[in-house]
Amino acid sequence: MALLEVKDLKMYYRTLRGHVRAVDSVSFEIERGKALGIAGESGCGKSSMASALLRLLPSNGAYHGGSVIMDGQDLLKMPEERFRKEIRWNRISMVFQGAMNALNPVHRVGEQIVEAILSHENVSRKEAVERARELLQLVGINPQRFSEYPHEFSGGMKQRSIIAMALACHPDLIIADEPTTALDVMVQAQILKAMGELRERLGLSMMLITHDLSVIAQTCDSVAIMYAGKIAEYGSVMDVYTNPAHPYSHGLLGSFPNIQAERSEVRSLPGFPPNLLAPPSGCRFHPRCPLADEMCMEVEPEVRRVDDSGRVVACHKAELVLEGKKLWEPMGASAARDTGKKTILEVSDLVKHFPVRMGLLKSLSAKEQPALRAVDGVSFDVYKGEILGVVGESGCGKTTLARSILRLIDPTSGKAIFEGTDILDKDALQMKTLRRKMQVIFQDPYESMNPRMDVQTIVSEPLRIQGLFKTTHAAREVVAKVLSDVEMIPPEEYMGRYPHELSGGQRQRVAVARALTLDPDFIVADEPVSMLDVSIRGEVLNLMLNLSRSQGVTFVYITHDLATARHICDRIAVMYLGKIVELGTAEEVIGSPRHPYTSALIGAVFVPDPRHRGFTQLLRGEIPSPVNPPSGCRLHPRCPYATAICKEVEPELTLYEGTHQSACHRTEQIQDQLRQIG
C-alpha cells in the first residue's frame, strides 16, 4: 500500500483578478521508501502542491476538493491541532527552497532542531540536544557547531542542517522543494548524495520537487511532470525519461543538455506556461504543442494509460509522440570549427582586487590592506568569430573577469588588448567610442531592462547614448533590423511593448538585440540563460550560435553550466578562485580534462538520463574565500592528488597536446592513474 495517496487535489489562490488554479485535479501516490520527483517549469504549481500537502497554504490559498490519504485518513479533513502535532514533522517533514532563509537568523542552528524535537516528542531537553548533535553528525556537520548562528554557516552547511532538522522526528516522508537550486554544482552533488544515502539508510520516502530533470533522473524512482497546475505525465523515471509520451515531457527532456551525449540535439520549447487565471481551454498545453489540433483546443484530455508500463499521460496525441513523430526542430549542432585564430582580444595578467572594508583603526595598524582577489592574474586570447566559454562556480571570479575586460570596472593591473589597443589605457571619451565595438548581455532578463522604457527605446538606447540617433525613422529601422536578427518577427509587434509584457525568453532576445544595435564585433554574455526556464534556454543559446556563425560576432560566454558551454562553445576556460586552471577546445576540456578541478566539475554535473546514474565526488568541502586564498595551487586543500609541491608552488598554465592548457603540477600522474582505473 502506498504511504501517501493524493487524489484529485485542487488548490486555488484568490487574487484581485480572480482565482489562480495553482493545483488542478492532481493525483499521484508515494510508495514507502521510494522517491517521487515532481518536475515542471516555474509557475506550474509544483511548489504550491508541496505546501498544500503540509497544509501550509498562504492566507489567500484554499482547497477546492480532493484528498490526501495517509494510513487511511484524509489529512485535509484532520483537525488542525491534531494535524500539527501528529503529522507535521512527525510523519511528513519538509526541506524548503532557499536554505538562506529557512533558518531563523536570531536562533542558534542546533536550537532550531531541538525545538522541533521538543514540540513533538516527550523527551528531556538533554536528550533532544543529544539527538540534534547526532543529526548534525549524520548530515556531515561537526556537532560542535551546534550553538552557532546561521550566518556563521556556509550555504551548503545551512542546507545540510535543514536536512538534519527534517530528519529530527523520524518522519516517513520528506518533501524537498528545490533543495539544491541555489547551490553550486559541486555542493549540489554533495547534498544530493548525502540525501540519497540517508534515505536509503533510514528507509524514508521522498517527494522531490525541482525544475531540474537531471536531479530527478539521478535520485528518484518515479516522476510526475506538471504543466499549468496539472499532471501531464506520471510514471516510472525509466519509462518517462527513455520514452516520453507527452509532447511536453518530450520537449522538456530534449531541452536539457547532456554533457555525456553527443554535441547536438539541444532543443528549445518555444512559448511559456499559461496564465493560471485563465488557462487555455481543452488541453492546457495546446498553444505550445506542435501536434495540437481542434480536439486539443476543445476537449480536456483524460489521464490515461498508453502502453503496458505503469505510466499515465494526459494527451490526446500520446500515441503519435510514442511513435517518434518529429516534434521539435533540433538546435543546430555546434561542430568544432576552425575560426582562423585571428586574435580579437588578448588578455594578459589581468588582476582585479577589491579592497575589503574594515575599521579605521584596524586599517591603520594592518601592514597590508586585505583584498578580495576576485581575478588574480589571468591571461588568455579570444579569437575572432569564436565562442569562448568561461566556466566556474560562483565566487571564482568569472563575472569580475567579464566586467574587467569590458572595463565596466577598472582592473587593478594587467592588459586587455582589443584589436591592437589596450582597453585599460583609454580615457573616458576613447572608451565611449570603443564601446560601439564591444557589448554585453547580462544574466537577469528581468533586471536588464528599465521597466519604464518600451522595447524600441531600450533597443535604440545605445544609439542615443553614442549620439548616433539621427532620426526616429532611422532608429526605428535599426531596431526593426536587430529585432528581426533575434527572430522577433514581426518587429513592429514588439516595439511598443514594455518589458513586463514579454516572456523571459523574449526579454533575453531583446537584450541580445540591444547588444547588436551598434553592430559590435565582440559580445560578452554573462550567464545569459541561467535565469530562464530550461525549456527556453535553447532559444537564446541557439541565437548566439547563429549570430556567431552568420555575422561573425565573437562571444565570451560566462557560465557555471558546463553542459551548455560544451554545446555552444568553441573553446572553454575553467576558472577557480580567480585563476584559469584549464583552457582548451570544448572537446579537449570536457572530453579529456587535465585538471582535477575540471574533472570534479564534470563529475558533479547530473545527467538527465536515469540509465547513467551516479556521479563522482572528487573534491572535499566548498570553495574557500577569495580574500585569503590558499598558497601554492589554490585547489590543494580540496584536491585528493595534492602533494607537498602543490602547497608551495603555484602551477602555471602549461600547454599539452593541441591547444589544451592546464595549470596542475600533477597532470601527468593523474592521467596515468585514471588510465589505470578506467
360-399 footprint of other proteins as x/- string (CB under 8 A): -xx-------------------------------------
Selected binder of other proteins within 155, 235, 392, 462 (CB under 8 A): 462
DSSP 169: T
Q: State the angle between helix axes of 185-202 and 596-604 in degrees (0 to 180), rounded to the nearest 10.
A: 50
Q: How far is the CB of 461 from other proteins (least distance, A)?
A: 7
Q: Is 500 in the site for other proteins (CB under 8 A)?
A: yes
Q: Is 448 in the site for other proteins (CB under 8 A)?
A: yes
Closer CB to other proteins, 58 or 324, in the complex: 58
Q: How far is the CB of 276 from other proteins (least distance, A)?
A: 12
Size of the chain in residues: 678
Question: Do 350 and 405 contact (CB within 8 A), yes or no?
Answer: yes
Q: Find the binding residues for other proteins in span 170-229 (CB under 8 A).
A: none
Closer CB to other proteins, 510 or 586, in the complex: 510
Which amino acid would we find at residue 616? T
Q: How many CB atoms lie within 10 A of CB 585?
A: 17
Q: Find the binding residues for other proteins in span 92-121 (CB under 8 A).
A: 93-94, 96-98, 101-107, 115-116, 119-120
Q: Is 82 in the site for other proteins (CB under 8 A)?
A: no
Upstream peptide bond of 490 is cis (omega within 30 degrees of 0): yes
Q: Is 89 in the site for other proteins (CB under 8 A)?
A: yes
Q: How far is the CB of 438 from other proteins (least distance, A)?
A: 8
Which amino acid would we find at residue 455? V
Selected binder of other proteins within 84, 415, 481, 549 (CB under 8 A): 84
Residue indicated by cell numbers 545540510: 160
Q: What angle do CA 437, 538, 278 make, to 5 degrees?
A: 115
Closer CB to other proteins, 217 or 512, in the complex: 512
246-275 footprint of other proteins as x/- string (CB under 8 A): -------------------------xx-xx
Q: Find the binding residues for other proteins in span 530-589 (CB under 8 A).
A: none
Please tell me the distance from the alpha carbon of residue 327 to that of residue 111, in angstroms, as a whole number: 53
Q: Is 12 in the site for other proteins (CB under 8 A)?
A: no
Helix (H) or strand (E) holding 376: strand 371-383
C-alpha cell at 266: 539541444
Q: Find the binding residues for other proteins in span 121-180 (CB under 8 A).
A: 148-149, 151-152, 162, 165
Q: Where are the alpha helices (DSSP H) in 7-145?
A: 46-53, 80-82, 99-102, 109-120, 125-138
According to DSSP, the residues that pair with 39 across neighbouring strands are: 210, 225
Q: Is 16 in the site for other proteins (CB under 8 A)?
A: yes
Selected binder of other proteins within 224, 391, 449, 642 (CB under 8 A): 449
Closer CB to other proteins, 380 or 442, in the complex: 442
C-alpha cell at 514: 540591444
Closer CB to other proteins, 355 or 640, in the complex: 355
According to DSSP, the residues that pair with 390 across neighbouring strands are: 558, 573
Q: How far is the CB of 435 from other proteins (least distance, A)?
A: 4
Residue indicated by cell numbers 486555488: 12
Please tell me the distance from the alpha carbon of residue 132 to that of residue 115, in angstroms, as a whole number: 10
Q: How many residues bind other proteins (CB under 8 A)?
A: 84
Ramachandran category for residue 297: left, alpha or beta (phi over 0 → left; psi -120 to 50 → alpha): alpha
Closer CB to other proteins, 73 or 466, in the complex: 466
Closer CB to other proteins, 446 or 656, in the complex: 446
Selected binder of other proteins within 356, 465, 474, 649 (CB under 8 A): 465
Please tell me the distance from the alpha carbon of residue 591 to that of residue 460, in angstroms, as a whole number: 42
Q: How many CB atoms lie within 10 A of CB 357?
A: 7
Q: How far is the CB of 226 from other proteins (least distance, A)?
A: 17
